Amino acid sequence: MKIIPLQLDGKTPLADPWTLDAAHREGVFGRGGDVPFRLDDGSLSPRHAHFSWQSGTLVVRDLDSINGLSRGGRKVRRTEFSGEGMLAAGNVILRILPERGDAAARFRSRLMRFALVLATVAVALVVVKIVSEYAADHGPAEEAEEEPIVPIEPVPPSPEQQELFARMERSRSLVEKAVDDLSNGEPPEGAARDLIAALRLYDDPSGRAQAALTGLQARYAAPHLAAAAEAAKKRDYPVVDAEIAAAEAYYPEPPEEVRSIRALVASQRAFEKAIRLMQDGKAADAERLAETIDPAFVPEAVALQEQIAMALRAREWAESFSAAVRAGDPAKAEELLAEEGKWGAWLTPPDRREFGARKDALRYLEKLLAMYGNGDVHDLLVLDTGDHGLEVLKKAQEDLGERCRARTEEDLALLAEAEKAAGNLAEPPADEAEARACLVGEMPAARLYWGGGRTEEAKERFFAYHGRWVEYVQGINGLAKAFLDLGARDQARLKLAEILPDIMEDSPGVENTTAMADDLDMTMPGGNR
C-alpha cells in the first residue's frame, strides 16, 4: 500500500511515497523528528496519525492531533482503505494507492466467490435443460408461434435527474477550478468561494472539496480568527469586524469561533452603551440593556447592574424630595435632604444636577416664605425669583397682597413725602439726603405694587427708587476704595459710615463693602464684620 503526501491542490507531491507491506506493517506519521513517516508542515502534530497494514487493508488512526483527520469532508478518528482514496491531515492531502501485492489476498477471495457463482449457474442450466426436454415430450403437438422481440427503449432522464446531473457537473468543474487556481498561486479566497459553491451544489462523496476547504481554513482563516479574538479583548471593534469578514470567506456558515467572538463583542458594546445611558441619566434604559450582557464575557457587568439598581432607588428618593419642594413642604423636604449622604453619590449626572436645582429651590422657598411671613415685599421685589415651579407661592402672594392693601393710604402718604425729598428720579442722587429719600420710598412703592393689584406704575417707581439707591451705594464704595488705595483710611471710614447702617445681607456690592469694613475694623449692621 503506497501513501503519497500532496499539497492542498491534490496533485503536487510533498515527499516520496511511503510504503506499507508485509515487511513494514506500521508506522507513525507527523512532523516529529523521531517518526518514520515525517513531513515538515506546521499544520501537522509531531505524532499526527498511526498507519498499519493488515491483509491488504490500510488502517489509519488519529493520535489526538491538533488538526485531526478528515475523510469525505468529515472528521474521523479511525478509518480504513482497501482501495484508492484520499485523506486530509492538516494542510496535507494523503493519497492512498494499493499495490498489486497488497490485493493478492482479496483477489483469491474474489476468485473463490466467482468459482462458486459459476458452479451455481451450471447447476441452474442443467435444471433448465431437463425441464425443457420434459415440456417438449409432453406438450401440444403444434408449434407455438415465436413471439417477436420488442427492443427496450431507454427511459430518458427526468427533469429532476437532469438538474442533478447538471449540479454534479458544475460542482466537479468548480472543484477542479479551485485546485488549479491554488496550484497557479491565485488568491485563496477565490478558491474558497468555488469550493463552498461546489459543496452547496452537490454532496462531496470523494471528500476532495471538503479536504481542500479544511486546509484553507486551517492555513488562512485561523490567523484571522486569532487576530479577531485578540482585537475583541482590546475592544478594537473595527479590527474585529475586518478580521471576521476575512475569516468568514472560508466558511459556508459562520464557525463556532466567530459566534463566540461576536457574542463577546455584543456584551462589550452593550456594557459600554449602558454606561453612556447612565451618564445621560437613562438608568431604566441602562437596566434593560444590562440584562443582555453575559457576565462570563464582561465580569464588570455585575457591578454595573448593582450601580444601576442603586441609581434607580436614588432617583426615587430625589423625586420624592423634589415633590416635597414643589408642594411647598419644607419640613418634608428637609427630612429627605438628611439622607443625601446615603443616596447622593448614586445619582446619575443629570439627576445630580436636577437634585442640586431642587436644593436651591428649597432654600429659595424657605426664604420667600419667611419674606411673606414678615411682609417684606421690598426684598421680594429685589430677589430674582426665576421659575422654580413653586405653585405653593401663589397662595402666599394672595395673602401678602391683602396685607399690603390694608395700609394703602399710609403708603401713599409716605410715597408722596419721598417724592418731594428724592428730587429728579431720572438723575443720580445729588446728595445723601436724596439717596436716603429713595431708600425710604422703596418700601411703600413695593407695598403699593402688591396691594394695588401689581400696577406697573408702582413697580416702575419702586425700581427707580431702588436703582438710585444702588447707584449711591456703589459710588460710596468707589470713593472708599480710592481713599484706601491712597492710604487715607480715615476718609475711607467716613465714606463707609454713610451707608453701613443701611447695608443688608443682600445689598448691592455688599462683598466689597464688607471687605473694606473688615480692613478698616468697622462693624457691620447686626454685629457682622
For 289-302, b where at least 16 C-beta lie within 10 A, e where not — what string?
bbeebeeebbeebe
The 8 Å CB, 24+ separation contacts for 492-495 are 492/516, 492/520, 493/520, 493/522
Say whether both 33 and 90 belong to one domain.
Answer: yes
**347 lies in which domain range?**
278-392
Helix (H, G, I), strand (E, B) or coil at 2: strand
CA distances from 481 to 72, 488, 495, 528 (A): 100, 10, 10, 20
Q: E strand or H helix at 97, and its extent? A: strand 92-97
Say whether both 515 and 417 belong to one domain.
Answer: yes
Last residue in a domain, options 341, 361, 392: 392
Residue 143 has pLDDT above 80, yes or no: no
* 525 vs 457: which has the higher pLDDT: 457
Mean pLDDT, range 148-174, rounded to an integer: 71
Q: What pLDDT is stored for residue 129 in this prediction?
A: 64
Q: How many domains does the chain have?
A: 4
Q: Give the chain's length.
A: 529
Residue 69 lies in a domain: yes
Mean pLDDT, range 302-323, rounded to an integer: 92
Q: What pLDDT is stored for residue 526 in this prediction?
A: 47
Residue 299 has pLDDT above 80, yes or no: yes
Say whether both 300 and 214 belong to one domain.
Answer: no
CA distances from 37 to 8, 17, 43, 79, 82 (A): 19, 10, 15, 18, 20
Last residue in a domain, options 105, 135, 154: 105
* 399 vs 209: which has the higher pLDDT: 209
Tell me how far apart the alpha carbons of residues 492 and 150 are, in angstroms, rounded to a whole number: 142
Q: What pLDDT is stored for residue 287 in this prediction?
A: 92
Q: What pLDDT is stored for residue 85 in this prediction?
A: 81
Provide the whole-model pTM. Answer: 0.48
For 446-461, what is each residue's pLDDT tens digit?
888 877 776 788 888 8
For 370-413, what is each residue's pLDDT tens digit?
777 777 777 777 666 555 555 656 666 677 778 788 888 888 88
Residue 315 has pLDDT above 90, yes or no: yes
Confidence of residue 110 (pLDDT cuts 50, 70, 90): low
Residue 27 DSSP class = E
Q: What pLDDT is stored for residue 130 in this prediction?
A: 57
Q: What pLDDT is stored for residue 528 in this prediction?
A: 35
Say whether both 380 and 295 belong to one domain.
Answer: yes
- CB–CB of 213/250 below 8 Å? yes
Say whether both 388 and 413 belong to one domain.
Answer: no
Say whether both 189 and 214 belong to one domain.
Answer: yes
Say whether both 522 and 425 belong to one domain.
Answer: yes
Residue 17 lies in a domain: yes
φ, ψ for residue 301, nearest 5 deg: -65, -30
Residue 122 lies in a domain: no
Say whether both 212 and 296 belong to one domain.
Answer: no
Tell me how far apart the alpha carbons of residues 249 and 190 are, in angstroms, rounded to a whole number: 9
Residue 499 has pLDDT above 80, yes or no: yes
Residue 153 has pLDDT above 90, yes or no: no
For 219-260, what is each residue's pLDDT tens digit?
899 999 999 999 999 999 999 999 999 999 999 888 888 999
φ, ψ for residue 34, nearest 5 deg: -110, 15
Helix (H, G, I), strand (E, B) or coil at 14: coil
Residue with grid cell 502534530, as numbered in its chain: 45
* 122 vs 331: which has the higher pLDDT: 331
Tell me how far apart the alpha carbons of residues 475 and 428 are, in angstroms, rounded to a whole number: 10
Say whether both 374 and 303 belong to one domain.
Answer: yes
* 166 vs 481: which has the higher pLDDT: 481
Residue 274 has pLDDT above 50, yes or no: yes
Nearest to 307 by CA among 263, 255, 266, 351: 351
Residue 266 lies in a domain: no
Say whether both 341 and 365 belong to one domain.
Answer: yes
Q: What pLDDT is stored for residue 289 in this prediction?
A: 92
**Lowest-pLDDT range of 190-194, 202-206, 213-217, 304-308:** 202-206
Task: Using the Cα atoms of residue 300, residue 302, residue 306 and residue 312 in order, give the sign of their dihedral.
Answer: positive
Mean pLDDT, range 72-76, rounded to an integer: 77
For 246-257, what is each residue's pLDDT tens digit?
999 999 888 888
Tell me how far apart the alpha carbons of residues 438 and 429 are, in angstroms, rounded to a whole number: 8
Q: What pLDDT is stored for residue 529 in this prediction?
A: 27
Task: Using the Cα atoms of residue 481, residue 485, residue 488 and residue 490 in order, give the sign of their dihedral.
Answer: positive
Mean pLDDT, range 36-41, rounded to an integer: 90
Q: Which residues pair with 29 in a beta bridge?
A: 37, 49
- CATH code for the domain in which residue 70 is found: 2.60.200.20
Residue with grid cell 496519525, as numbered in its chain: 49
Confidence of residue 503 (pLDDT cuts 50, 70, 90): confident
- For 320, residues 6+ apart whose C-beta sits below 8 A from its C-beta are 336
* CB-neighbour burial class of residue 97 (10 A; exposed 0-12, middle 13-18, buried 19+): middle
* CB-neighbour burial class of residue 435 (10 A; exposed 0-12, middle 13-18, buried 19+): buried
Confidence of residue 134 (pLDDT cuts 50, 70, 90): low
- CB–CB of 57/81 below 8 Å? yes
Residue 140 lies in a domain: no
- Exposure on the CB side of residue 215, measured as CA atoms within 13 A: 29
* 121 vs 181: which has the higher pLDDT: 181
- Exposure on the CB side of residue 369, measured as CA atoms within 13 A: 15
Say whether both 289 and 348 belong to one domain.
Answer: yes
Tell me how far apart the alpha carbons of residues 456 and 467 are, in angstroms, rounded to a whole number: 16
Last residue in a domain, options 367, 392, 417: 392
SS3 of 276-306: HHHHCCCHHHHHHHHCCCCCCCCCHHHHHHH
Mean pLDDT of the residues in the chain: 81
Nearest to 439 by CA among 354, 373, 501, 363: 501
**Full DSSP string of 134-165:** HHHHHS-SSPPPPPPPPPPPPPPPPHHHHHHH
Residue 443 lies in a domain: yes
Q: What pLDDT is stored for residue 303 in this prediction?
A: 92
Say whether both 411 and 519 belong to one domain.
Answer: yes
Tell me how far apart the alpha carbons of residues 141 and 152 are, in angstroms, rounded to a whole number: 32
Confidence of residue 147 (pLDDT cuts 50, 70, 90): low
**Lowest-pLDDT range of 138-142, 344-348, 371-375, 508-512:** 138-142
Tell me how far apart the alpha carbons of residues 434 and 468 are, in angstroms, rounded to a whole number: 9
SS3 of 32-92: CCCCCEECCCCCCCCCCEEEEEECCEEEEEECCCCCCEEECCEEECEEEECCCEEEEECCE
The 8 Å CB, 24+ separation contacts for 439-445 are 439/465, 439/469, 439/502, 440/414, 441/414, 441/415, 441/465, 442/378, 442/466, 442/469, 443/377, 443/378, 443/411, 443/414, 444/410, 444/411, 444/412, 444/414, 444/415, 444/418, 445/411, 445/415
Confidence of residue 160 (pLDDT cuts 50, 70, 90): confident
Q: What pLDDT is stored for residue 89 in this prediction?
A: 87
Mean pLDDT, range 404-429, rounded to an integer: 85
Share of the chain above pLDDT 70, in %: 81
Residue 128 lies in a domain: no
Mean pLDDT, range 428-453, rounded to an integer: 84
Q: What pLDDT is stored for residue 138 in this prediction?
A: 54
Mean pLDDT, range 174-187, rounded to an integer: 85
Residue 312 has pLDDT above 90, yes or no: yes
Residue 144 lies in a domain: no
- CB–CB of 50/69 below 8 Å? no
Residue 31 DSSP class = S
Nearest to 8 by CA among 178, 261, 166: 178
